[in-house]
Every structure is written in structure tokens, then in C-alpha cells.
Structure 1
Amino acid sequence: MAEVLFKGNKVHTSGKLPKVGARAPDFRLTRGDLVEVSLQDFAGKKKILSIVHSLDTGTCAASAKAFEARAAQLPGTVILTVSNDLPFAQKRFCEAENIHAVVPLSQMRDRKFGRDYGVEYLDGLLAGLLARTVVVIDENDRVVYTQQGPDTSQEPDYEAVLKAVRG
């Protein structure tokens, strides 16, 4: 269980982030066309999981835009933004913000993702949502990097993520 700050108050997550070197937990998430995808659907590619509460929050929206801006620098890498938002809302956000390289995924049908990755908030105003976290997974589905900021208002360290992807 991790502690992070939300507006100065401590909130707790459902567990620990996946360990670097471990096999990434599989998942069932929903794309904008309502089709379910799993980790295997991205086999052979590096994966950045940008996990956010909601694309309707300022910092989470900024994170999606920042990863979109960096996507061209990462050939062979898929950037997946995972949230509790419904696929319709994710699609509307991406269209409005001209986001095409980042793949939005929803855990609307299967909340197991948040628990398996240790990022579901257990208490506080955000209980049930996902903690802002980045997990980098290699082509063999091994976790190579994790990052969870101490405060929900902080954007990820994008340069550290890029470095982890490039190895």
C-alpha cells in the first residue's frame, strides 16, 4: 500500500506497484470502440501505461497531451492511458485535444486492473479511482520502470520515462 497526497491529505492505494523485472500483470481494458483488449494485444511492443484518475482533471489531461507530444520520439512503443472514464468520454477528449498516438483505455468493465497494479485509491475523495502512475513494460512484458508521484497534482517525470523506454 502506498500513500500519496491529494490536496494535502494522505490517501492510500490498493497495493504496491509491480516490481521492476517482474512480468507485468495481464489486464482486460476497454477501447473507445468498446472492444476489450489485454496485454497480449500489444505483444512485441514496448508499452507505457500512463495511469490517471480521469482525463477530465487538469493534470491528467496535461499528461495525456505531453505523452502525445512525445510519441513520435518512441518508435515501437505504444502509449496507453488508462482511467476510469467511460470510453465515450475518453474518445471525446482525444478528439477535442487532437490526440491520436495515445491509446485511451477504460477499466469500466473490469476493475481488476487497479488492484493488480496496486493503483486503486482505497480512501479519500478519490476512492475507487486510479492513482496517477506510469509503468513501462518491455517487448517481453517485463516491467522495466515504475513511477508514482508523491502528490496527485504532479505530472510524471517525462524524461525519466523516455530514458526507461530507450533503455
Structure 2
Amino acid sequence: MATVTLGGEVVNLAGDELSIGDMAPVVELVGRDLASVKVGGSSDFIQVIASVPSLDTGVCATETRKFNQNVANLSDVKLTVVSMDLPFAMGRFCSTEGIDNVEVGSDFRSKEFAKKYGVLIEDGKLKGLTARAIFVIGKDGAIIHKEIVSEITQEPNYDAIKKVVGGGCGCGGCGCH
């Protein structure tokens, strides 16, 4: 498992460790409207799954806003932000922030996503939440990019994501960072 820290303190992750080339597990999450949100597996889109501890933190909110501003330009990419936040809180965040290009999904019921993707924080102050991570899944369902952010209070590597989703994302300079 990847070494992850929170403010310099090591936290352990639980669940299955996935690698590039592995098939992304299909997981059902709860959307902001309580409807089912499916991530993983094969799709008509490239899937970018961003797991965050909570949308109610500065870094997570900034990351989600950046993705929302830039994902609209990507016609064959579907981005989902996953956290343990309650669907109502996710809905309120999206409404307040004008988030309409990003799907949000809560893993609060079963923690199935966190376990199957190996991002469940099992100790420390954020025990029970999801670590900050990015999974990019090709249309065939295989993981083509993975980043477990080593320091939870840091944003992911947007440049690496852009390269994977279409050679710089193909939108003419989306400014994902």
C-alpha cells in the first residue's frame, strides 16, 4: 500500500490495492439526489474518479471546483468525486458552488468503493474517510492512471491527469492546475 500522511503523520489505508492495468471494480454509490451512481467497469467514457476525504474542506472543495471548471471541455470524459459525505451535504455543496459538470457519489453506506479501491483511511484523525486519490479508467474498464496523493492536504497532479485523458486533454489549454 502507498504511504499516505496527514499533516506529516502516517495514516494507514485499508482495502484492495489496485494497480495500473487492473480492471476497475464496479461500485454503486449514492448520488446527491439519493439515486444510484455507478463507477468503474467498462463505459462509453473515460472515467476519472477522484476520491476526497470531504467536500467540506478547503483542499477538497478547490479540487472539485477545478475539475468542474475544466471537465465541461472534455466530451468523452466523465468525472466523479467520491467521498463519505452525506448526499444532502454533497447536494448543498454542489448548489452553493455551482458544480454542474462533475458527478458526486457518497460511499457512506457500505464503504464499498473505499475498500475495493484501497483508499479507506483506517486510523488517525480522518479514520473512516477516503484518502485523496485519482483513478483514470479507460473505456475498456482497465485502470490507466492511479495516484494516491501522498499528503492528504495536497491536491493531485493535474498535469498527469491531463496527459492521460487525451494527450493534454485536447481542449486547447484547459488550465486544470
TM-superposed deviation, 1:110 = 2.1
CA distance in 2, matches of 1:16, 1:153: 23
> d(CA) in 2 for partners of 1:40 and 1:157?
21
For the pair 1:101 / 2:115, whether they are aligned, the reply is: no
Distance in 2 separating the partners of 1:14 and 1:34: 26
Residue 147 of structure 2 is aligned to residue 147 of structure 1: yes
Q: In 2 relative to 1, CA 31–42 (structure 1 residues): closer, same or farther, beyond 3 Å? A: farther
Size of the aligned set, in residue pairs, is 167
Letter in 2 for 1:37: V
Secondary structure at 1:2 match in 2: coil
2:25·2:41 contact (CA, 8 Å) conserved in 1? Answer: no
Matched with 1:18 is 18
Q: What amino acid sits opposite 1:107 in the alignment? A: D
Deviation string, structure 1 residues 20-72 (Cα, Å, up to 9, x no partner): 11110110101111112323798211110010000001111111011011112
Residue 118 of structure 1 corresponds to 118
What does residue 173 of structure 2 align with?
A: none
For structure 1, the residue ranges without an aligned partner over 5 or more in a row are none
Q: Deviations over 1:86-130 (max 9, x none)?
A: 111001101111110000100122211101100000111111100
Query: Aligned partners of 2:15, 2:3: CA distance in 1, in Å?
Result: 10
Query: Which residue is equivalent to 2:89?
Result: 89
Q: What CA distance in whole angstroms lies between the structure 2 residues aligned with 1:129 and 1:24?
A: 20
- The aligned counterpart of 1:76 is 76
Question: Which structure: greater helix fraction?
Answer: 1
The code of the aligned residue for 1:88 comes to F
TM-score normalised by length of structure 1: 0.94
